[in-house]
Structure 1
Amino acid sequence: MSAAPIGKFDAAWPAATRPDLVAAPVAAALAAWTGVEPVESVLAVDTDPDLADTGNFGQAYAVEPHQSANCVVVAAKRGETVTYAACMVLASTRADVNGLVRKHLGARKASFAPMDDAVTLTGMQYGGITPIGLPDTWPILVDAAVADAPWVVIGSGNRRGKLIVPGKVLAGLPGAAVLEALGV
């Protein structure tokens, strides 16, 4: 247990040691970790699930929007084929779904995935979806500003708890691609 590198939290732990704060797919990904940084660089903090949404969370825990990254699940369609992807953008921006994401994925149409689909396909709670532990076939698109951040707060797969990670951890996830101006 130690102090968190950003925000005001009672304590931070290596996420792999706190399976109670992460969704099952996240715990499995942490147990099988092959990231660019040691698994101990992925920290978990215990938070109020009623404050999981970005605005309320930031105010309660002194996390600025540029220190928090949102994971947006996108459904991209070309003909009958649907490709799901995750987009990581700073909370101070929004993902360029209809422009950059659509083009990068080679889709005719891209939109936010319906909430029920996102929850079912990820095994995570809405409001806590995170790129760690997503299905292996999903591209993870990371805004360059997220990749360059020393630390960002992201979901833990649950509404209770958050992860604090160096941006380079997200850029180094399997299937990750760093894109300039993904967040606008």
Structure 2
Amino acid sequence: MSYALTLVPALDRPDLLAPPVADVIAGLGPAAAGIQVAEIDPELADTAAFCERYQVPLDESANCVLIAGKRAGESRMAAALVLATTRADVNGAVRRLLDVRKASFASRDAATGGTGMEYGGITPLGLPAEWPVYLDAAVAAAPRVVIGSGVRRSKLVISGATLVGLPTVTVVDELAVPVAP
């Protein structure tokens, strides 16, 4: 499928990446060659508007959400990456994986302050090393998926296999639940 995006190798356009994302991609060696970036209208960064405008099927777009929880007074953070046709099972699968009593979406300040990324552009690449990244099995199996780049003005196209190879990633079956039609 062809998107209405102008894709270039991500390493050729570090200006379209948040600094921690650029650092991770630069450190991937040969795998970095398969990661592409496209400049987009930042007003269209949210999934539904982005997919409609740039002709990206929802099942080829993935959302990264940051989840916060506490256990014995200790704050815990994690990321969940799921296809746009689904939503992360925050109070089921993610809560159990984080081993917390209650899990919720991280606040905007925690998301941007803890990542060095823009809200609406958060991506699993470049997150703090102590934050686990839970990758839905459907994303892991995808030949390519469109994700955030750390900034709202661009998107990355990357394979599920490359995401699986990131050091903090754990592939999780049933991390996501379908979005009701």
Could you say which TM-score interval applies, normalised by the shorter chain? over 0.9
Which residue in the other structure is 1:86 paired with? 79
Equivalent of 1:18 in 2, 13, 30: 13
Which residue in the other structure is 2:144 paired with? 151
C-alpha displacement of 1:111: 0.7
4+ runs of 1 displaced by more than 6 Å? none
Distance 2:99 2:19 in 1: 31
Q: Which AA in structure 2 matches 1:38?
A: A
What SS is found at the alignment partner of 2:22? helix
Question: Is the deviation greater in 69-78 or in 25-34?
Answer: 25-34
Which residue in the other structure is 1:129 paired with? 122
Matched, 1:63 2:59: no
Contact 1:96 1:183 in 2 (8 A): yes
Q: CA RMSD in A?
A: 1.2
Q: Which AA in structure 2 matches 1:162?
A: K
Gaps of 5+ in 1: none
Contact 2:31 2:162 in 1 (8 A): no
Matched, 1:107 2:100: yes
Which residue in the other structure is 1:42 paired with? 35
Distance 1:129 1:6 in 2: 24
Contact 2:120 2:151 in 1 (8 A): yes
C-alpha displacement of 1:76: 2.0
What SS is found at the alignment partner of 1:58? helix
Contact 2:147 2:155 in 1 (8 A): yes
Which residue in the other structure is 1:30 paired with? 25
Which residue in the other structure is 2:3 paired with? 7
**What's the % identity of the aligned pairs?**
51
Contact 1:23 1:158 in 2 (8 A): yes
Distance 2:49 2:60 in 1: 14
Contact 1:6 1:151 in 2 (8 A): no
Gaps of 5+ in 2: none
Equivalenced residue count is 177
Equivalent of 1:174 in 163, 167, 179: 167
Task: Select the structure that is richer in strand.
Answer: 2
C-alpha displacement of 1:94: 0.5
C-alpha displacement of 1:6: 4.4
TM-score where L is the length of structure 2: 0.94
Distance 2:32 2:137 in 1: 22
Q: Which AA in structure 2 matches 1:122?
A: T
Q: 1:118-148: CA deviations, max 9, x gaps?
A: 0000000000000011111110000000001
What SS is found at the alignment partner of 2:88? coil
Question: Is the deviation greater in 21-30 or in 51-60?
Answer: 21-30
Q: Which AA in structure 1 matches 2:3?
A: G
